[in-house]
Amino acid sequence: MMSEERGLLRAEEFQRQQDELKVGRIRSSLVLKGDEFCQDCGEDIGAERRAALPSATRCVDCQGDHERRSKQVRAL
């Protein structure tokens, strides 16, 4: 019985790993499209930032402000 349980556990672990690989492949194939204009200030995000981070929804300045505010909230 012990060897059957170990075999079952190995099979379950293998299946879990296969599922994680599939999810990873699906996630990496998704292209997250950002915005041309910043969601906070409305200014153009800029081609260089969009090329570096296609999913960007904020300009560099607003993203920095957003991250600083998020850190402050978490610190409370």
Pair 76, 55: CB distance under 8 Å: no
Residue type, 32: L
Q: Do 40 and 71 lie in a common domain?
A: yes
Q: For residue 71, what pLDDT is reported?
A: 85
Chain segment 22-42, per-residue pLDDT in tens: 998 887 767 678 899 999 999
Pair 32, 12: CB distance under 8 Å: no
Q: Do 24 and 53 lie in a common domain?
A: no
Q: Do 49 and 18 lie in a common domain?
A: no
3-state helix, strand, coil split of the chain in percent (to 5) is 65, 5, 30
Q: Do 54 and 67 lie in a common domain?
A: yes
Q: Do 23 and 8 lie in a common domain?
A: yes
Structurally, how many domains does the chain consist of? 2
Residue 43 has pLDDT above 90, yes or no: yes
Pair 33, 54: CB distance under 8 Å: yes
Pair 27, 35: CB distance under 8 Å: no
Question: pLDDT > 70: what percent of the chain?
Answer: 93
